[in-house]
Amino acid sequence: MDYILNNTYSITQLKHKLSILKSYLLQTFFGGPQPALNPKDEAFLKALPESFLKQFNAGNVYKLFKEMEDQINKLPVLIIYLTFETDDESLAQIGQFIRKNLSSPVILDTKYDPGLIAGAALAWKGVYRDYSLRAKLEEKKGEILGSFKRFLR
């Protein structure tokens, strides 16, 4: 599981990779049509170490996936609200920064919030913090309105 988490930063990416891996292993052990994969998913499967794949067999594949799903549910999730939709590259940059600065492994749940202005908001362990310009403007709203009123007089 650690191998998959090394280059996986969001809950969406993690669930997608596990789905690809599970489909591949079930097809390998029980037959059936091989789903069409995009090049990125093929590269993910090819990069998995042989030692990781050898732990799976027809008798334990469902049990091991249940254990991995239980591990995923125990991972701490940092919800990050951004002013843009993330792509894999920006998600990797954000994820690497967060993992470098937090001592525990964390998985991101990114959300698009067009109401934010120039920044981000975070939710961690039930606590929401807005670090965007929107929060600062709201905080200084009275001062800003006072300045405009003085200017207009």
Q: Which two tokens stand for residue 60?
A: 């334990």
Predicted pLDDT of residue 55: 92
Domain of 68 in residue numbering reads as: 2-73
Residue where one domain finishes, among candidates 73, 95, 127: 73
* Residue 146, in any domain of the structure: no
Please tell me the distance from the alpha carbon of residue 67 to that of residue 61, in angstroms, as a whole number: 10
Instruction: Indicate whether 94 and 37 sit together in one domain.
Output: no
Q: Which two tokens stand for residue 79?
A: 């919800």
Does residue 132 or residue 147 have the better pLDDT?
Answer: 132
* Residue 153, in any domain of the structure: no
Provide the domain count of the chain: 2
**Mean of per-residue pLDDT scores for the chain:** 88
Question: For 48-82, what is each residue's pLDDT tens digit?
Answer: 999 999 999 999 999 999 999 998 888 889 999 99
* Residue 30, in any domain of the structure: yes
Q: Mind giving me the DSSP string for 11-40?
A: HHHHHHHHHHHHHHHHHHHH--PPPP--HH
* Residue 101, in any domain of the structure: yes
